Structure 1
Amino acid sequence: MNNLKKLEIENYKPLREIVFEHLRESILEGKLEPGQRLMEIQLAEQLGVSRTPVRESMRKLELEGLIIMVPRKGAYVADVSTKDISDVLEVRTVMEGLAASLSAQRMTDEELDELEMISYQFKKCYERNDIEGMIEKDVAFHERIFASTRNEKLIQIAQGLREQVHRFRVRYISEYNNSKELVVEHQAILECIAARNSERASELSMKHIENLASHMMEQIAKYSAQENKDPKK
């Protein structure tokens, strides 16, 4: 099992909530990998807490579909099938198009300035080959667009879909041979939103996610093939 750091306890949050958020983040960021077995005692020791908040957190993680409980075997980090990811990206493509269209109509000048700054920061991270920075700013770019739609249901659903593929994002960006295209695509979407061109903003956003989906599926297929060839598997 990957080593997890002991938690820094915050007095204003219940311990079970801190443990849950930490484990959830560890799964989404790939620190706890798909198929990895999770043992209460070991997790509790690594985090420096009792087994009770760990057990409660694992139940919540199971409800979110991030872990699975196998009778007589224990808990495992849920794997995500290729079809699961394909389905999520298919839905996200349409939602990104809708969000960009609404954003072009509703984004304020202040929010537009913020989006422009995020796009600039993403470009700078690319120039420094700062993968973590690129991921952070890519997420911020899309979240800013969704937030400006003022549609709470759309924002909520998009967040859930985004988290389902988050653990594959590092692999996607770090091995994307044409990362500069991401910079260009972000800028083009930004310019359409600034011009209040809803239709074009929608088209470019959908194409942006289609490109992401295509590359991500290629990466997943490649790693699956490598794992199948590995004699240790």
Structure 2
Amino acid sequence: MTSASIVGRAGSRRQGLPDEVATYVRELILSGQVRPGEFIRMDGIAEAVGVSNTPVREGLLKLSNEGWLVLEPRRGFVVAEFSAQDVQDLFWAQAQLAGELAARTAKAITPDRLERLSELIERHEQAVTSNQGPETIDALNHAFHREVNLGANSPYLARLLSSVAQNFPNRFYSEIEGQVQACRVEHPLILDALRRRKARTARQIMQQHILSRGTSLVAMLEERGIFTAEQ
């Protein structure tokens, strides 16, 4: 992993510094840019994120506690082995929570929120057709889902979803084959179900929307040879 490739993936949205490091390295792992068994270079991560080595180490320790990295004494942090089933399990959990929130939002949706969701869909479409770039497209995708989740008026469930969703890369979904088109088709379907207050339909579409994303990510990682034959 070269410093140039790391710098090229760094984002501009700021979090707590260790959390930002953890988010960035998760994205490197789940996008296949660093592979199981590969050591993480702390200086490269510090350069990419624009922080000192202290928050880098804290962020990597966080990922070690989550199981994404293994700390080898006197050697450093190495990417842990993970399987296609592990990735699918994470997306399954997110799909269940996101589906429940969508169903609750369908019962509580307000005209203002419907208008905001419609506007986000329009902006996403404009971003795609005018080639505004992956960061803008991914940000609008994230904003749509966040708006749906907030509409459920279930803050604890939304926070639980956020804790699960932090395992997934946010800034490269537009690079996964078929995902931009899936959002263009499925976001309007979700909005239609919410507008008609069809809770079951909203749940089903949202769950399938998330699960298909996981399937696409697994296919991409398999194509890159991330999973071993034994997995």
Query: Which TM-score bucket, shorter chain as reference?
Result: 0.7 to 0.9
Match of 1:60 in 2: 62
TM-aligned CA deviation for residue 137 of structure 1: 1.3
1:133 aligns with 2:136: yes
What is aligned with 1:24?
22
- Quick one: distance in 2 between partners of 1:90 and 1:133? 26
Which structure is richer in relative contact order (CA contacts within 8 A, separation 6 or more)?
A: 2
Could you list the per-position Cα deviations for residues 115-134 of structure 1 after superposition, in whole angstroms to 9, with x for gaps in the alignment? 11111111112213432222
TM-score, normalised with respect to structure 1 = 0.76
Show the 5 A alignment for 1:132-211. Answer: 132-166=135-169, 170=172, 172-177=173-178, 179-211=180-212
Contact preservation (8 Å) 1:85, 1:165 = no
TM normalised by structure 2 equals 0.76
> Structure 1 residues 94, 39: closer, same or farther in 2, change over 3 A?
closer
Query: Cα RMSD over matched residues?
Result: 3.3
1:224–1:101 CA distance, 2 compared to 1 (3 A): same
Give unpaired runs (5+ residues) of structure 1.
Answer: 6-16, 229-233
**Is the Cα contact below 8 Å between 2:103 and 2:203 reproduced in 1?**
yes
How far, CA to CA, are the matches of 1:184 and 1:165 in structure 2?
22
Percent identity over the alignment is 21
Q: Could you tell me how far 1:103 is from its partner in structure 2?
A: 0.5
Aligned mates of 2:18, 2:95 — CA distance in 1: 30
- Structure 2 CA distance, aligned partners of 1:180 and 1:136? 15
Distance 2:46 2:98 in 1: 39
Aligned residue among 115, 118, 126 for 1:116: 118
CA distance in 1, matches of 2:109, 2:80: 37
Larger Rg: 1
Change (3 A) 1:19 1:197: closer
Structure 2: gaps of 5 or more residues:
8-14
Q: Output the amino acid matched with 1:62.
A: S
Range 197-206 or range 77-86, more displaced: 77-86
2:99 match: 97
Say whether the 8 Å CA contact 1:27–1:77 is kept in structure 2. no
SS of aligned partner of 1:165: coil
The alpha carbon displacement at 1:166 in A equals: 1.2
Partner of 2:166, secondary structure, is helix
* Structure 1 residue 70: Cα displacement: 1.9
Task: Please say which of residues 131-140 and 21-30 is displaced more in the overlay.
Answer: 21-30
Say how many residue pairs are matched: 216
Seen in structure 2, the aligned counterparts of structure 1 residues 74 and 117 have a Cα distance that, compared at 3 Å, is same
